[in-house]
Every structure is written in C-alpha cells, then in structure tokens.
Structure 1
C-alpha cells in the first residue's frame, strides 16, 4: 500500500517557528482531543508514522512533524543536539497553541522527548519512549550496532546518496522478516529528501549527534511523567538489556516488549499492536 493511501484524511501543512523556521506537520483528529506528538528518528521524516496518525485520530489529536534539518522542514546550519531539538518542539507546541501534550518518540524522537519531559514537566502528560536513543548502551553488540549505523548514515546522507545506500540504511530499521515493507516508494521518498541541495549540506551536521550520543544521556531520574518504554526484542544499538537497565531509573516507568517481530520501527512494522498499546497507555491518562 502507498504511504499516501495511509495518509488519506491527514492534513499536511507548514507551521512557522521563531528560531527554527518552517516546520512540516501532519495532523489528524479533533482539535479539542488530547494531543499526541509523534517524533521520528535521525535522518527520518514524519511518514514514519503514516500507519498511526489516522487510526488513533478517533480518540486523540495526532501530530507528527519533521525536525529542523530533516525532510521538508527548514534546513539550517546549526549545532544539532537532542536538547536543541527539544527547544524546537517547545516552539512548535507554542505555534500550535498546545500547552500540555502526550509524547511518543522513536529513536532520536524518544531522545528528544525525554529531554523535553525533564525540562518541561508541566507541558508533558504521558511519555512513550519507543526504541529510544539517549540511554546508556550496555552491550558490545550495541556498541557495534552504533558504529554500523554511523557508517550507514554517512553513506546515505553523504555527498552522493544512492538508491542502494538509502535502501541499506532503511534495512537497518526493519526486522528481516518485514523487508517486504521496504517499498520502492519508501526508498525513493527518503532518497529525494537526502538529495535535496540543502540536505546534502545539513545532513552531516545532523549525523554528528550519533558520535556525541554519550554527551547527551537522558536524565531519566528527572522525568516525572508516566513513561512507557516500548521496546522490541531485536532493536539495534539499544537492545532490550538497555531498556531493562534504564527502567529502574524512571520514577514512573514501565516496560512493554512488542510481541510481533520488529526491530527499530515497531510503529511501522507492527502498527496494529503499536496502535493498541498507544491507545491503552495514552487513553489511561487522568
């Protein structure tokens, strides 16, 4: 199925922010419903949530967006860190007129969401860290996976990304049993974003966050929101042992391990299960 069939009924528009420029936003659901902000991974784009926005919009105001430096949001020459992107999130919420929201972030999106929740507890309702970065890597395999990701990102977002290098990068995200989900459309979409002139310039700045991962570990003890670690058994870098080690540091944390086979993109690989868990977790907020 086409990404855009999944997104039929979702509004795509642009929102201006004071410091980070024009931000592309996808939104579905009633304006007065509790809002969930979905955030993609490094080098990613809002289409990562094409299978979640509309199904969850019957109960929530569902919003995904492109981080600055990504996809069709502004590409700025700046220092990219998860702390900086948490400030982008704050400005976006201000522009959307949202005071308190639920947060669901995958990989980089979880990293940013965690910093936002620690810095702005009064604006955070519930927090889902979905195969998130920003927690200590505790295994040799995880460290090797990080080196592999850095190499794939360099090839995919370097001076001359190719169809093959981008597909290679996406294969890292998705469990081998779901590689049929890596459609020609998905590869060409990401390749288009990487080949944009501004992308060729800015992507290396974005990817430097990978090498600085341990400089920006999440202050887990400071996160006061009810927090769900949504993990998979085959998540690269931050494997299940990482999540289990991080869990006791969260004052109000719990862990859910996906039953379906999935790797780093459970919201895309197993959307029915992901959406069921999200509906239950965010719907239980008082």
Structure 2
C-alpha cells in the first residue's frame, strides 16, 4: 500500500515558526479536543508515521512534523542542532497552532526531544510516550557496539551523494530483518529524494555531524533526559530488538520516572515499531493516552 494512501484524509501544510522558519506538518483529526504530536528520529521525516496519523486521528487531533534541517522543513545553516533547538521548535509550533497542551510522542531523537520538552515545559504536556528513545543510559555491551556500528555507518556515507543502496542500508538498521519487506521502492525512494535535495546536503553535516562526534568520542556526554524531573505520566514504548538502547536500558530507566510505565511490543520490531507493527502500536497509544495505562 502506498504511503499516500495511508495518509488519505490528512492535510499537508507548512507552518511558519519565528526562529525555525517553515515547518512541514501532516495533520488530521482537527475536530478533537486533545492534540497528539508525533516526532521522528534523526535524519527522518513525517513519512515514518504514515501508518499512524489517520488511525490515531479517530480520537485525537494528530500532528506529525519534520524537524528543522530534516525532511521538507526549512534547512537552517545557522543552528548548532542541539536538543534544545528541537525543543524550541516544538514550542514555537504549538504556539503558532494555538495549542496550549498536548500529548507528545517521539521516536529515537524525537523521544529525547519529547522528554526534554516535558522537563522544560511541564505545563505544555498531558501524557508523553518515549518510543525507543535515546537520552537514557546504555547499559549493555551490545548497546555500545550498536552505537559504534551506527557511527561507522554514518561515517561511511558522510559527505557522499546518497544512493538507493546507502539509504536502504541505513533503513535496514532501523527495521527488524523480519520486516525488511516493508522497505519498498516508495519508502526508499521518498527518503532518497529528500536526502538528494541540495538544501538537505547543506544541513546534513550539521544534523549528523554532532551525533557522530558524540558517538565516536567517549569523552563527550550524550544528550540525556532528566528522567527524575518528568512530572507527567510517561510510557516507555519499547521493542525486543531495539538497537543501542535495548530492553535492559528501558528497564533500568523505568524506576527513575515517577509516573512511568514500560510496554514492550509483542511483534518483532527494532527501532520503528510505529511502522513495523502499526496496529499494535496504535492500540497501545490509544490505551495509554486515554487512560494512562496499557
């Protein structure tokens, strides 16, 4: 099924933010009182939520957006692309859309932004979902090997023109091998088209360079969520095969969150549970966001 058949019923538009310029938004369910914001991982884009926006819009006003420098949002070259830049982009987007409070969910980098936003602006969030998030300690040797492998994969492609093969290799890192059949020509082609744009070629060294420096240098502290400062109900939504931050990392983080819950997906998935097993993901999201329980 096409990504854009999945998105039927959603609106694609650009929202201007004061500091970060044009932000691409895919939106559905505007008639609902409660808003849910979905945020992708590093180097990603809103197509990561193709199987979730319309389904979750049956119950929520759903907004998925591209981070600055990524997807089809504005490619700023005067940013350092710190986590706080993404946090402020989210705040400015909510302000521009006149949304006072929202449920917020992020995957990978989006999870770090979700957690840091909830710490900085607790009055702006309802419930949050940290979906295979970064920003928590790596506790296993395999996790450290996964991080090194990601840095090496990124380094091999750094500064080179993207190809279908290089994009497929990176996306195979995201998805469990039993789900590689989901990596069809459209999904690979859409990311290749975004990565091939001249504006992305300008922002990519800024977006990815910071990650590679921190991943490759043990002396540089990775960005961490201040878990003890989270005041809202928080779901750690995990998978059995998540790279870098495995289930043990999630289990170690859970006691540090006052109102935390851990759910591990039943279906085999890696870093993209929302795309690999959307029916289970959407059901868990609806349950947690409506009741605080899974």
> Hey, what does 1:199 align to over in structure 2?
200
Distance (whole Å) between structure 2 residues aligned to residue 285 and residue 253 of structure 1: 10
Contact 1:156-1:166 at 8 Å conserved across structures? no
Distance (whole Å) between structure 1 residues aligned to residue 222 and residue 168 of structure 2: 29
1:71 is aligned to 2:78? no
Give me the TM-score of the superposition, normalised by structure 2.
Answer: 0.94
Contact 2:135-2:222 at 8 Å conserved across structures? no
> Hey, what does 1:14 align to over in structure 2?
14
Instruction: From 261, 264, 273, give the equivalent of 2:268.
Output: 261
> Hey, what does 1:235 align to over in structure 2?
242
Q: In the TM superposition, what is the alpha-carbon distance from 1:119 to its structure 2 partner?
A: 0.3
Contact 1:152-1:165 at 8 Å conserved across structures? no
Q: In the TM superposition, what is the alpha-carbon distance from 1:225 to its structure 2 partner?
A: 0.7
Deviations 1:199-256 (A, max 9, x none): 1121111113423373421100011110000000100001111101100111110100
Contact 1:33-1:59 at 8 Å conserved across structures? no
Give me the TM-score of the superposition, normalised by structure 1.
Answer: 0.97
Q: In the TM superposition, what is the alpha-carbon distance from 1:150 to its structure 2 partner?
A: 2.0
1:26 is aligned to 2:26? yes
Deviations 1:51-75 (A, max 9, x none): 0010111110011000000010000
Q: In the TM superposition, what is the alpha-carbon distance from 1:285 to its structure 2 partner?
A: 5.6
Q: In the TM superposition, what is the alpha-carbon distance from 1:12 to its structure 2 partner?
A: 0.3
Distance (whole Å) between structure 2 residues aligned to residue 254 and residue 147 of structure 1: 29
Cα 1:157–1:65, aligned 2, differ >3 Å: closer, same or farther? farther
1:248 is aligned to 2:219? no
Using the TM superposition, name which of 149-158 and 38-47 deviates more: 149-158
User: Could you say what secondary structure the match of 1:212 adopts?
Assistant: helix
Cα 1:215–1:175, aligned 2, differ >3 Å: closer, same or farther? closer
CA RMSD of aligned residues (A): 1.4
Gaps of 5+ in 2: 216-220
Contact 2:46-2:65 at 8 Å conserved across structures? yes
Gaps of 5+ in 1: none
Output aligned runs, 1:131-146, within 5 Å: 131-146=132-147
> Hey, what does 2:53 align to over in structure 1?
53
> Hey, what does 1:273 align to over in structure 2?
280
What number of residue pairs does the alignment pair up?
A: 286
Distance (whole Å) between structure 2 residues aligned to residue 269 and residue 94 of structure 1: 32
> Hey, what does 2:126 align to over in structure 1?
125
Contact 1:155-1:161 at 8 Å conserved across structures? no
Contact 1:23-1:68 at 8 Å conserved across structures? yes
Distance (whole Å) between structure 1 residues aligned to residue 105 and residue 245 of structure 2: 17
Distance (whole Å) between structure 1 residues aligned to residue 192 and residue 282 of structure 2: 28
Q: In the TM superposition, what is the alpha-carbon distance from 1:166 to its structure 2 partner?
A: 0.4
Q: In the TM superposition, what is the alpha-carbon distance from 1:284 to its structure 2 partner?
A: 1.5
> Hey, what does 2:148 align to over in structure 1?
147
Q: In the TM superposition, what is the alpha-carbon distance from 1:130 to its structure 2 partner?
A: 0.3
